[in-house]
Amino acid sequence: MAYATNGLIEDIHYNAMTQVGGGAIPGIANGINEVFNTTGVTTFGYGQTTSGSPLPAVLDGNLVSAPEWANLVNIVTQVGAHQGTATGLPAPPIGGDIIAWMTTMVANVNSVATNRLNAVASGPTNATTQTRNTQWRAQVTNEHTINFGSLNASRYFFNAGGLIRITMSRSGGSASTKNTSWTNLCNNCGTVVLSADEFDKTIAGQTYTGTTKLGGGGTAPTVATGIGFYQLGGGFAQIFNQSASNATYAANDIRITATDDGAGVLKIRVEFKDDTADVDGTVTKWANGTLTSTVTAVQPSTANLANTWGGAPALASSQISGS
């Protein structure tokens, strides 16, 4: 029987809206379990187990009960509140109520699946910093490790709106054109942000693609908008590069690469590359002062979701090369 407004809710309709993979009837591509609970399926799944999740399928031939429908209403409303997706659903029924089909439920389940990587707010942050205080030339490479503890923890972190922010700075040292150029380049890079995947998502009012540059200025950077957490593999991939705006030092640049080991460990490398040949034709002028790169993990908000990503990931930094 085809479903209709105020009609009885049959198992095939309810199961399409709740189970992984959805169903042609009633036109659901991804059931709410896939959004709210699922493990191990890339951008789907917050890992939640509250409100009776994952919702069990209704047996073939059975009608849907008030508690079963109430669980669905509660979860869709909860997910919508996390994402900022307006659902407008009525209060869930209680045991003994007569329940009926709502055509708006189909649109709501589809909407929260489409908006699954959005988040209306962000949660707490923790950071790791690597600093060099001795003079340098040619290249300095800092490596930052973000350890989520498991693949699913990293998935839940990014799926629920988690972000990785990267900033650079240089200060102090002697007064020189080279030092000023490096200070300006660090400032011009602004904040580089790694999000879940390459598609647009809105988190705490800001739109992100895979990798996004916020603020800064200077020469036009190369930003890997098509590379987010889910596009990373075993090798280091470039996600950002920007060159100095000072003509004398235009060959100098900051390059950021990232890799994911597939088991919940993400690594970010920040390379400060001094490729400018100075007056005598060799790289002889030293930069000095305090050179810093900082990686900040921005956790998802727990206002509407339980913390399934294990809280703050473990962070560590080291300088793996410098000359």
SS3 content of the chain, % helix, strand, coil (to 5): 20, 30, 50
Contact criterion met (CB below 8 Å) for 146 and 265: yes
In this structure, are 270 and 214 located in the same domain? yes
Residues 131 and 49 in one domain: no
216-231: b or e for each residue (b if 16 or more CB lie within 10 Å)?
bebeebebbbebbbbb
pLDDT given at position 4: 47
Is the same domain home to 104 and 202? no
Residues 146 and 71 in one domain: no
Where in the sequence is the domain holding 68, given as residue range(s)? Answer: 11-114
Q: Is 141 in the same domain as 64? A: no
Two structure tokens written together for 212: 């996004």
Assess if residue 26 is contained within a domain.
yes
260 and 133 part of one domain = yes
Number of domains comprising the chain: 2
What is residue 2's predicted lDDT score, i.e. its pLDDT?
40
Indicate whether 259 belongs to any domain.
Answer: yes
Q: Pairing state of beta strands 206-208 and 211-214?
A: unpaired
Among 61, 82, 114, the domain-final residue is 114
Per the domain annotation, does 5 fall within a domain? Answer: no
Radius of gyration of the chain from its Cα atoms, rounded to whole angstroms:
25
* Predicted local confidence at residue 95, as pLDDT: 63
6 lies in some domain:
no
Q: How much is the pLDDT for 100?
A: 55
| Residue at a domain's end among 81, 114, 147 | 114
Q: What is the pLDDT along the chain (323 residues), one digit of tens a residue?
A: 344 445 567 788 899 999 999 988 889 999 999 999 998 889 999 999 987 889 999 998 888 888 888 899 999 999 999 999 999 887 777 666 555 556 688 999 999 999 999 999 999 999 999 999 999 988 999 999 999 999 999 999 999 999 999 999 999 999 999 999 999 999 999 999 999 999 999 999 999 999 999 999 999 999 999 999 999 988 999 999 999 999 999 999 999 999 999 999 999 999 999 988 665 555 567 899 999 999 999 999 999 999 999 999 999 999 998 77
- Tell me, yes or no, whether 131 and 74 share the same domain: no
Same-domain status, 216 and 163 = yes
Asked whether residue 285 falls in the same domain as residue 252, the answer is yes
Amino acid found at 194? L
Q: 232 with 83, same domain?
A: no
Q: Is residue 257 part of a domain?
A: yes
**Residue 49: inside a domain:** yes
Last residue of a domain, one of 79, 114, 149: 114
Claim to verify: residue 289 and residue 173 sit in the same structural domain = yes
Per-residue pLDDT at 62:
82
By three-state DSSP, how is residue 97 classified?
coil
The answer to whether residue 4 is domain-embedded is no
**Cβ of 232: how many Cβ atoms within 10 Å?**
21
pLDDT of residue 3: 45
- 110 and 155 part of one domain: no
Q: Residue 1 domain-assigned?
A: no
**If residue 16 lies in a helix (H) or strand (E), which one and from where to where?**
helix 11-18
